[in-house]
Amino acid sequence: MKIALGSDHAGLPLKKQIIDHLESKKIEIKDFGTYTEDSCDYPDYAMKVAENVASKEFELGILICGTGIGISIAANKVPGVRAALCGDTFSAHACREHNNANILALGQRVTGQGLALDIVDTFLNTEFEAGRHERRVNKISQIEEKYSK
Ligand code: RB5
């Protein structure tokens, strides 16, 4: 499994902790930035990760900003991306199982490190259930197609 990661400056510390966590589990990752604490714009990193997940170059992505809100809104503008902002493990499980979310968004200023790592593990270890959920996810794609023209 190849995981794409990105953050703005506000999400950088948590991103580093997640990278250490995933590398300790021998999970292949690529960090698309930001790499410094200099102030930057979350849409730039949302787009890099979102494009790499939408193209299927990477199976799943993780994006972090201060709240997780801006970076998830931006990622969801890329066709094929279903980014889910999660602050609990139930949502992390459900967004994979029901919504086939392909990007997890986290808020560094909202969610503590221990919980964030549990959310990451839950997200990466849960499969899409398909079945009745597939029809609904397909309807999300249809909305995207309608407004992509
Ligand atoms: C940066 O200050 C902050 O606005 C950003 O990280 C994020 O929380 C936006 O949604």
Q: What is the pLDDT of residues 44-88, one digit of tens each?
A: 999 999 999 999 999 999 999 999 999 999 999 999 999 999 999
CATH label of the domain that carries residue 101: 3.40.1400.10
Active site residue 40: no
What pLDDT is stored for residue 28 in this prediction? 98
120-147 burial: b if 16+ Cβ within 10 Å, else e: bebbbebebeeeeeeeebeeeeeebeee
What's the pLDDT score for residue 4? 98
Q: Are 70 and 83 in contact (CB under 8 A)?
A: no
7 CA → ligand 1 middle, Å: 10
Structural domain boundaries, residue 37:
2-147
Determine which residue's CA is closest to atom 4 belonging to ligand 1.
Answer: 66
Domain count, the chain: 1
- Interval between CA 105 and ligand 1 midpoint (Å): 12
What separation in Å is there between the alpha carbon of 45 and the centre of ligand 1? 12
pTM tops 0.75: yes
At residue 149 the predicted structure's pLDDT band, cuts being 50, 70 and 90, is confident
Considering 9, 65, 86, 95, which one is annotated as catalytic? Answer: 65
pLDDT at 39: 98
